[in-house]
Amino acid sequence: MIADILIKNASELVTARGAKGSPKTKEGMADLGIIRNGALAIDGKEIVAVGETDEVLAAIRRAGTVIDATDRIVLPGFVDCHTHVVFGGSREDEFVQKIAGRSYLEIMQGNGGIFSTVEKTREALASPRALINRAGAFLDKMLTFGTTTAEIKTGYGLSTESELGLLKIIARLKESHPVDIVPTFLGAHAFPKEYKERKADYIQLVLGMLERVKTEGLAEYCDVFVEVGAFSLSEARTILEKAKKQGLKLKLHAGEFNDIGGAELGAELGATSIDHLDYISDRGMELMAEKKTIGILLPGVPFHLMTNKYAPARKLIEAGVP
């Protein structure tokens, strides 16, 4: 066999094998599928051989590039499954408010947080090249630290024009950047200020956005922020059921500040994953385990927000949540 690239003599080759068609759970999560003195061969975009170095060398007659990984670890690229890398402005000024004791929801209610970023993002969309360049720089940095796949959510447009504009920027990044990108529509990140007293109207607007997203093929997933001050269970259900009918896969933000049943809703609707989960009931864990709904934990968020409330990771693992 001939290969383009051969990596040999790795002290440890991490394969992460053994998932068998569904995510690993419980003790299986600790099995990284490590091969000592490992090697792998790549031809085109496929791994064509993997195993101990002697085994792979016996199978590969010639390789265009040979990399000696002696005293090194070879492992798959990281998958960052929760990012918002396309946005305008910055929120470092809000850190002073957090130090003074204001909560994230209080800052958000004062037109900070998401709303501050929405305002800056809408302004930046007038010249999308700057947003593309900025997001590309973020992705470059992520790649240098080993992230090779990234989900990118919208959520900072909150209008049809702005949300579709963000998805089109994500599409351009997907075409041009070496990081594999998975686009997610998050038009239901918050109720924009102009719809504060017309929430039902905004729900209808998001449903209309979903039609465009599907028609134009702009996203693989639909996400909703299920939280006090954001979208209620019934509002989220309306949006997610429409997204599912449109053929989009589902994600949720849930349990970041309160448990209002987002985990249960996501599991019921067959969501691929539910993110945050700093607050989650035992029943929520049970349903997520039963439906094999993946829990995405984001410990950097409560650390940054100084809430001192972290997701019960060990309890989730013991419950069988992947």
pLDDT band for position 106 (cuts 50, 70, 90): confident
Please state, in angstroms and rounded to a whole number, the distance separating the CA atoms of residues 317 and 295.
9
* Model pLDDT, residue 225: 98
Compute the average pLDDT of residues 101-112: 79
Which CATH number applies to 2-76: 1.10.287.610, 2.40.30.20, 2.30.40.10, 3.40.190.10?
A: 2.30.40.10
pLDDT tens, residue by residue, 229-251: 999 999 999 999 999 999 999 99
Domain ranges (residues) in the chain: 2-76, 79-318
Coil/strand/helix, residue 31: coil
* Among the four given CATH numbers 3.40.1000.10, 3.40.50.11540, 3.20.20.140, 3.30.70.420, the one describing domain 79-318: 3.20.20.140
- Burial group, residue 161, by CB count within 10 angstroms (0-12, 13-18, 19+): exposed
**Model confidence at 96, in pLDDT bands (50, 70, 90)?**
confident
Please provide the DSSP assignment of 211-280 as one string: HHHHHHT--SEEEEEESTTSB-HHHHHHHHHHHHHTT-EEEEEESSS--SSHHHHHHHTT-SEEEE-SS-
Q: Could you give the C-alpha distances from 316 to 26, 33, 251, 271, in angstroms and in order? A: 9, 22, 18, 17
Three-state DSSP state, 98: helix
Question: Over the stretch 33-83, which tens digit does the pLDDT of each residue have?
Answer: 999 999 999 999 999 999 999 999 999 999 999 999 999 999 999 999 999
User: Which pLDDT band holds residue 22 (cuts at 50, 70, 90)?
Assistant: confident
Q: Worst-scoring range by mean pLDDT, 29-38, 69-78, 88-97, 305-314?
A: 88-97
What mean pLDDT comes out for the span 253-277?
98
How many Cβ atoms sit within 10 Å of the Cβ of residue 93?
Answer: 10
User: Average pLDDT, whole number, for the chain?
Assistant: 95
Q: What is the pLDDT of residue 89?
A: 92
Cα 296 to Cα 312: distance, rounded to the nearest angstrom: 12
